[in-house]
Structure 1
């Protein structure tokens, strides 16, 4: 497997189980996060994650990588469980390289 996929999917795993602080560390200053019912900037995403109860269990499926010189996008199936509810979607995250590593620029959920 491509080491960039491993690196980015490790970040995605942290974010899937993370808090607002985790997102604040990874999100680009100009980030856009598109989730069902909302389009959030960095501050809005961090606040939403701080108020979220989080997932009881997550599964990140096999990722596809699309890469250019300074960006990388991972697209993968996601399943999250919270109590008796299950959420399934295709997720896409585009990262840009910068000082300090990868920063999440655009993240989108497409529910199944």
Structure 2
């Protein structure tokens, strides 16, 4: 299960806004250094306002999982066109809803 979610996590960073938004649970909460705490609606608006990432590397990966929940933790190194490299420690909590995995929580702490 965790291998599948690592692929989904990577896709979340790199996918278009519509695909990234599809991965968010209706109860999703996110915490970002510049935009603060966001619910699903605000997170989608923030995704629409920012250029998408072109590249992401996830190191120091760790995960814990149960039947319906998986938490991923990692060190992200990401790049956008024309911007400095972004580095952060991240956690994402994935929850299974009706057979589909959705992001319940995502948090970034800049390094």
Matched, 1:5 2:6: no
CA RMSD of aligned residues (A): 1.4
| Unaligned ranges ≥5, structure 1 | none
| Unaligned ranges ≥5, structure 2 | none
Other-structure match for 1:36: 33
- TM-score, normalized by length of structure 1? 0.88
- TM-score, normalized by length of structure 2? 0.88
Between the two proteins, the alignment pairs up a number of residues equal to 109
SS in structure 1 of the partner of residue 85 of structure 2: strand
Question: Is contact 2:2-2:65 (8 Å) kept?
Answer: no
Q: Give how far 1:42 is off.
A: 0.6
Question: Is contact 1:30-1:105 (8 Å) kept?
Answer: yes
Q: Give how far 1:18 is off.
A: 2.0
